[in-house]
Amino acid sequence: MNDMHFPFSDTIAGYVTHMDRDTDTYTVRTSGGKEYQIKLKSNTYAQLLRNLGDPYFDCTGQMRDMLVPDRYVFTYGIYYPDAGHNAFEAQFLVFLGRRPGEYFFERQDWWVKQIQSLGEFYMHAQFGDAPVDYANYRTTIKLSGEKTRDNYRQETDTISRLVFGLASAYMMTGDERFLEGAEKGTEYLRDHMRFYDVDENIVYWYHGIDVHGKREDKVFASEFGDDIDAIPAYEQIYALAGPIQTYRITGDPRILRDAELTVDLFDRFFLDKEKGGYFSHLDPITLDPRSESLGPNRGKKNWNSVGDHAPAYLINLYLATGEERYARMLEYTFDTIAAHFPDYEHSPFVQEKFYEDWSHDSTHLWQQNRGVPGHNLKIAWNIIRMYSLKAKPEYEALARKIAEAMPAVGGDQQRGGWYDVMERARKPGEEWYRFAFHDRKAWWQQEQGILAYQILKGVCGDDTYYRLARESAAFYNAFFLDHDDGAVYFNVLATGIPFLMGTERFKGSHSMSMYHSGELCYLAQTYTNLLITKQPLELYFKPIPGGFKNNLLRVAPDILPEGSIRIGAVWVDGEPYSKFDADALTVSLPETKDRVTVKVRIEPVPAEQRKKAAGAEQQARPAGMPVS
């Protein structure tokens, strides 16, 4: 009854296995191992992958010569149910490089150029050609960068996300306008969104402010649907994301103090000191996670409240300070994840929602018994980051388990990319895990897939991880970049065609600013250059005189394997500078009254040099002394 006897359009992503000039057909093998024969038409066209800001690169005249074995290519076309088989005719092709095995996004500056374009889009959308003034900031940014004029809400987390993106853009490009945007955004957050509780000596952050002309109304508790009338942990977490990335550049001690007092909030009120982990919500009046007023969020824990600390602010806070307090907190959160989130007896997806005693909550609001591929991939990505700081076997094991499970259940092995929300269990008679709502793909989940498999390749070395990293980055760069209006799309259809309906057509919303797209650029360039293609990475800093403790600037771009990178060179205001510890990844800042621009070149350490250094360290280490 349900046989597909109708034509429909679709995308096939795969590696070329054969090209037949006589029939003008070629065969590809998908990531899932299936083979498809594709017919070229007289009006089929082809293009090269292009970055934001690049012109269109047509390669229609060369496409038949480019269809050589093992080349990865996207084909968008139409299925026709002819004579008992499905013929697939190509409409257009996207090649990832000019030569077989070349992927443009592995260039030394691909992601640098992308974040430059992203930063320019958001700076222009928010501030135009006028001076940077966050009084003019809008949460909602339309597809082309337009925004509302009057009576609007400014949400704390979306400002913080924009600040994170702009700070990352400055670190990668040295463009002073991005730093201005990050610093003024941080100052605006401190002046308008921060609340210092004198009695408790803690800092927490408003949900946002409503602006009515010149009047400003504070919005304390969240008004987002899932978190209504509560203080959700993730809002407090993401309030720190932008300021802490800015702190890495400037060393502003006021930012550090805010972070310390917000972490105190987590430790004193969100932390479950009896059963472990962090509660997901607090009552806004009593700061009680068990208050009846919290309704379905009473006494609950979830992925965001436990796992989002690390990527949003905590890893960056540790990188900037080297403080043991933050290393311990990182270890605690990852120990908690490794202990409670795996649920492989029942599902290939981790469990994300919990009651206070860590029993599973499978009825919570929209999530029910559903899994988010991006959260699974986010765990793999971040726990393998932590593995380079604390080499616990359970960290590596969980990262590998997720990396092995996700492609078949949360990834699209025919078209490429990662799906949104999936049912965690199949019903009797079902072969495929069902989509919870739709088969679209969100921009932020592509980021998790790219970064997870890139760092897994860099740390663990498996070629399968490298293939999946490339396939993930290929889909994102082929289909999410908006070459007409700028920035990236929120969602695309399963085929990669942009989905432009409702709030998902916006470039700025409660869910989207410049955080995930900027974070992806920053870390994808870091992992690509330093772990995979072995090229240098240059970063920029502009410290406040006397800001950093002991006047010491820490420049490690991320938690990477010990001894894998070192400082190659440093410049201060354009002049070579020699006061740095290459292996410790620190720069002793000059004693000045004025701010200076510090440019640092970070280089990968060759494998043979690392082996020699590791051998010498092992000989020098007293018996029984642990490696980490």
Q: Is 362 exposed, middle or buried (0-12, 13-18, 19+ CB in 10 A)?
A: middle
Q: Tell me, what's the pLDDT at 625?
A: 32
Q: Are 510 and 219 in contact (CB under 8 A)?
A: no
CB distance 508 to 147 below 8 Å: yes
For residues 628 and 562, which has the higher predicted lDDT (pLDDT)? 562
Q: Is the pLDDT of residue 614 over 70?
A: no
Q: What's the pLDDT at 283? A: 97
* CB-based contacts of 271, cutoff 8 Å, min separation 6: 277, 278, 279
| DSSP-derived 3-state class of residue 201 | coil
Cα(558)–Cα(111) distance, rounded to whole angstroms? 16
Helix (H, G, I), strand (E, B) or coil at 165: helix
Residues 6+ apart with CB under 8 A from 119: 165, 166, 169, 173, 175, 177, 178, 181, 514, 518
Q: What percent of the chain has pLDDT over 70?
A: 97
| Entry pTM | 0.96
pLDDT in tens, 344-387: 999 999 999 999 999 999 999 999 999 999 999 999 999 999 99
Token pair 């590809």 is found at 28
pLDDT band at 214 (very low <50, low <70, confident <90, very high): confident
Concatenating the DSSP letter of every residue in 229-295 gives TSEEHHHHHHHTHHHHHHHHHH--HHHHHHHHHHHHHIIIIIB-TTT-SB-SEE-TTT--TT-GGGG
Domains and CATH numbers, the chain: 8-101 (2.40.50.140), 540-620 (no CATH)
Residue 518, pLDDT above cutoff 60: yes
**Residue 361: exposure state from Cβ atoms within 10 A (0-12, 13-18, ≥19):** buried
Identify whether the C-beta of residue 162 lies closer than 8 Å to the C-beta of residue 513.
yes
Q: Alpha carbon of 321 to those of 316, 388, 582, 598: distances in Å?
A: 9, 17, 17, 17
Residue 618 has pLDDT above 70, yes or no: no
Nearest to 236 by CA among 293, 281, 201, 200: 281
Which of 469, 609, 467, 463 minimizes the C-alpha distance to 527? 469
* Confidence band for 610, pLDDT divided at 50, 70 and 90: confident
Model confidence band, residue 225 (pLDDT cutoffs 50, 70, 90): confident
Q: Which of 126, 111, 308, 284 has its CA nearest to residue 205?
A: 284
pLDDT digits (tens, 9 = 90+) for 47-105: 999 999 999 999 999 999 999 999 999 999 999 999 778 899 999 999 999 999 999 99
**Alpha helices (H) in 23-109, listed in sequence order:** 63-66
Model pLDDT, residue 224? 85
% the chain with pLDDT above 90: 93
